[in-house]
A and B are shown apart, each in its own frame.
Chain A
Amino acid sequence: MDALLLSFKLAACVSAILMIVGMPVAYWLASSQWRGKFLLESLVALPLVLPPTVLGFYALVAMGPHGPLGKLWQAFFGHGLAFTFAGLLIASVAYSFPFAVQPLIASFEAVDRRLLDASAVLGAGKWRTFWRVMLPLSLPGVLTAIVLSFAHTLGEFGVVLMVGGNLQGVTRTVSIDIYDRVQSLEYSQANHMALVLLAISFFVLSVVYFVNRRAWSLWPAK
């Protein structure tokens, strides 16, 4: 049960951080006319194609006692970053970045430009236009972003193995736990865990798809 709770805690934190960090990035990518934008787009999409072990490897190197991130962390908090919950969180945020940012970009881009123009002409600055028009009309995309990054973090394995290791209650997430139990031939416990994960994932996804459909029909695009 420890492992399951830890996974949920990790996934919830990742989703929350991604909303804060991913929203401005997505907004910028959706509205920028900059020619070199494709570079940032590629960077954001990188975790989609990289094997988690590659991402995990670089994350581990960066967080190690000699890595830039690890050194910085050591200087601030007085202990290392690798094999801690915080380290795992940072790596997971990077790993799930495209799953949050891409639906956000898609939903921001789908908002009718003329609505944003109308808001500006009616005296609203960029900030107010974002909160009152862009964000409310992108809610289905925001929800999709939250759920996809949540679900993706819940199911991650390779990155956790690389940067988190397998410390009970600290970095042993449910996927690692299941793998462990299978390795030690505890099939019935592994099955319990797997089944719980399966049921929860299905429930969360169906809630999202249900709400998404409702949201679109409540607020038709035009």
Chain B
Amino acid sequence: MLTLQLQKERRNAESSSFLLDVSLEFPSGITILFGPSGAGKSTLLDCLAGLLRPDHGRIALNDEVFLDTACGINLPPQDRRFAYVFQSLALFPHMSVQENVSYGLAHLAETERRRRVGEILSAFRVEALAHRRPAEISGGEKQRVALARSLVTRPRVLLLDEPLTGLDAELKASIIDDLRAWNITQEIPILYVTHSREEVDALGERMIAMDHGRVVSAGTPREVLDAPRRKKLAQAAGFENLLSGAVLDLREADGVMRVRLAETACEIDRPGKAGIFDFAVMPTIEVPLGYAAAGDRVRVAIRAGDILLATERPNRLSARNILEGHIASLERRGTLVIARVDCGAVFTVHITPGAVRALELAADMPVWLVLKTHSCHLVD
């Protein structure tokens, strides 16, 4: 049983701080960590591996303590024997597959090292690639090699950060089967970060959903992901806008896909405006690449506070989504003004009373909404 309590404040580029605050237990076997990007999943894994130092916390595996800030214990990563497969895989580009895989076995005698490397390479069906460099093998092969390199060290805990991104379903299933087979004999806790439904379905025993550095729900994948709760999950996590739409196309090289919005989840009436604003074409927005194919229906969650509102068409912005619409209503709640903006789909936008005055916002005014691609979170 891996137990941890962690608190870690991180400052990101926009200097808004982010607090990871979790208390979790992981039995042996696979546990899925699920959540939008920026939820704190990678920060959590980095803290576990010893690559980041938490502000407060304790990490223990059974009786063995790896970190206890109260007692000043903090083992460096090389002394923890936690294996970690990064999203980027981080294969050493100047070493062959075989050298990569034997890297973590420096403490073993030559013959033992060879035996273990040979064994794991054939278990992951990459023995034919032993003398190739990472640049000379395919994406799926790299993912197998990265897994083999971590598992060959016989780690006590396995941390996997989206290790199978970008593979087709069949290949994913076969690698997951290999991983599962391997863990039958090892019986170690495996933390598996993903936001792919396919992987959740293939892996699923236990699942933990995170957002904003906190655990929002835990249980079996069915419990965590079933439809009404998913919507609640998104709303509980502070996503006021939950929009459904269909994937138009994937632009893998840019890491984005375009989604045509279909309807709004929060229905509001548009009093007397039908016919004046004719939105025959529903808006299309660019969102981070998710696990979907063109034509799939997806749901996009956006925080009301992440949307910018402009009274002129903005240009020369890095944000990729600029939607034209008009203000349907303005409602003041304390120091917050909730604007509903109709762009075909209706968006809820949080603004300050000062902004309302400065921009002289009023109902029916034409406005433009600005959405950063990475403020659009896919929730399934």
With A117-B51, A117-B77, A220-B135 as given contacts, are A122 and B104 in contact (CB-CB < 8 Å)? yes
Which residues of B are found within 8 Å of A118, using beta-carbon distances?
84, 86, 90-92
A121 touches B51 (CB 8 A): yes
Which residues of B are found within 8 Å of A119, using beta-carbon distances?
92, 103
Q: B93 contacts the other chain (Cβ, under 8 Å)? A: yes
Q: A123 contacts the other chain (Cβ, under 8 Å)? A: yes
Cβ of A211 to closest chain B Cβ, rounded Å: 15
- Measured in the bound complex, the distance between the Cα atoms of B78 and A132 in whole Å is 15
- Measured in the bound complex, the distance between the Cα atoms of B92 and A124 in whole Å is 13
A121 touches B106 (CB 8 A): no
Return the contact of A137 from the options B50, B88, B94, B150 (Cβ within 8 A). Answer: B94
Contact mask for chain B residues 56-83; partner A; CB cutoff 8 A; 1 contact, 0 none: 0000000000000000000011101111
CB-nearest residue of chain A relative to B155? A121
With A117-B77, A137-B94, A219-B93 as given contacts, are A122 and B88 in contact (CB-CB < 8 Å)? no
B94 touches A120 (CB 8 A): no
Return the contact of A112 from the options B88, B107, B149 (Cβ within 8 A). Answer: B88
Contact mask for chain A residues 97-120; partner B; CB cutoff 8 A; 1 contact, 0 none: 000000000000000101101111
A117 touches B78 (CB 8 A): no
- Measured in the bound complex, the distance between the Cα atoms of B84 and A124 in whole Å is 14
Return the contact of A123 from the options B78, B90, B93 (Cβ within 8 A). Answer: B78
With A114-B86, A120-B78, A123-B78 as given contacts, are A136 and B94 in contact (CB-CB < 8 Å)? yes
Cβ of A118 to closest chain B Cβ, rounded Å: 4
- Measured in the bound complex, the distance between the Cα atoms of B153 and A89 in whole Å is 48
Query: How many A residues face the partner with a CB closer than 8 A?
Result: 21
Q: B49 contacts the other chain (Cβ, under 8 Å)? A: yes
Instruction: Name the interface residues of B84-103: CB closer than 8 Å to any CB of A.
Output: 84, 86, 88, 90-94, 103
- Measured in the bound complex, the distance between the Cα atoms of B2 and A222 in whole Å is 33
A219 touches B94 (CB 8 A): yes
- Measured in the bound complex, the distance between the Cα atoms of B94 and A220 in whole Å is 9
A220 touches B93 (CB 8 A): yes
B77 touches A112 (CB 8 A): no
A123 touches B51 (CB 8 A): no
A121 touches B92 (CB 8 A): no
Which residues of A are found within 8 Å of B90, using beta-carbon distances?
112, 114-115, 117-118
B93 touches A137 (CB 8 A): yes
A interface secondary structure, majority: helix
Return the contact of B77 from the options A121, A133, A221 (Cβ within 8 A). Answer: A121
Interface centre among A121, A132, A133, A219 (most CB of B within 10 A): A121
Instruction: Name the interface residues of A171-222: CB closer than 8 Å to any CB of B.
Output: 219-222
CB-nearest residue of chain B relative to A115? B90
Q: A36 contacts the other chain (Cβ, under 8 Å)? A: no
Cβ of A133 to closest chain B Cβ, rounded Å: 6
CB-nearest residue of chain A relative to B99? A132
- Measured in the bound complex, the distance between the Cα atoms of B92 and A119 in whole Å is 9
Q: A78 contacts the other chain (Cβ, under 8 Å)? A: no
Which residues of B are found within 8 Å of A124, using beta-carbon distances?
78, 103-104, 106
Interface centre among A114, A118, A137 (most CB of B within 10 A): A118
With A120-B77, A120-B78, A136-B94 as given contacts, are A114 and B88 in contact (CB-CB < 8 Å)? yes
Cβ of A151 to closest chain B Cβ, rounded Å: 27
B84 touches A121 (CB 8 A): yes
Instruction: Name the interface residues of A118-164: CB closer than 8 Å to any CB of B.
Output: 118-125, 128, 132-133, 136-137
A123 touches B153 (CB 8 A): yes
B49 touches A121 (CB 8 A): yes
- Measured in the bound complex, the distance between the Cα atoms of B86 and A220 in whole Å is 19
Instruction: Name the interface residues of B144-193: CB closer than 8 Å to any CB of A.
Output: 149-150, 153
Which residues of B are found within 8 Å of A219, using beta-carbon distances?
93-94, 135
B153 touches A122 (CB 8 A): yes
- Measured in the bound complex, the distance between the Cα atoms of B45 and A114 in whole Å is 13
CB-nearest residue of chain A relative to B84? A121
CB-nearest residue of chain B relative to A139? B94
Which residues of A are found within 8 Å of B88, using beta-carbon distances?
112, 114, 222
Which residues of B are found within 8 Å of A125, using beta-carbon distances?
78
Cβ of A124 to closest chain B Cβ, rounded Å: 6
Cβ of B72 to closest chain A Cβ, rounded Å: 20
- Measured in the bound complex, the distance between the Cα atoms of B45 and A121 in whole Å is 12
Cβ of A217 to closest chain B Cβ, rounded Å: 10
- Measured in the bound complex, the distance between the Cα atoms of B88 and A112 in whole Å is 10
Which residues of B are found within 8 Å of A117, using beta-carbon distances?
49, 51, 77, 84, 86, 90
**11 A-B pairs whose Cβ atoms sit less than 8 Å apart in the complex:** A115-B90, A117-B51, A120-B51, A121-B84, A122-B150, A123-B107, A123-B153, A133-B92, A137-B94, A220-B135, A221-B93
Give the top 10 A-B pairs by smallest Cβ distance, nearest first: A122-B104, A118-B90, A120-B77, A114-B90, A121-B84, A136-B94, A123-B78, A219-B94, A121-B77, A219-B93
Q: Which residues of A contact B (CB under 8 A)?
A: 112, 114-115, 117-125, 128, 132-133, 136-137, 219-222
- Besides A121-B78, A122-B149, A136-B94, 7 more A-B contacts (Cβ < 8 Å) are A112-B90, A117-B86, A118-B84, A118-B86, A121-B83, A122-B104, A123-B81
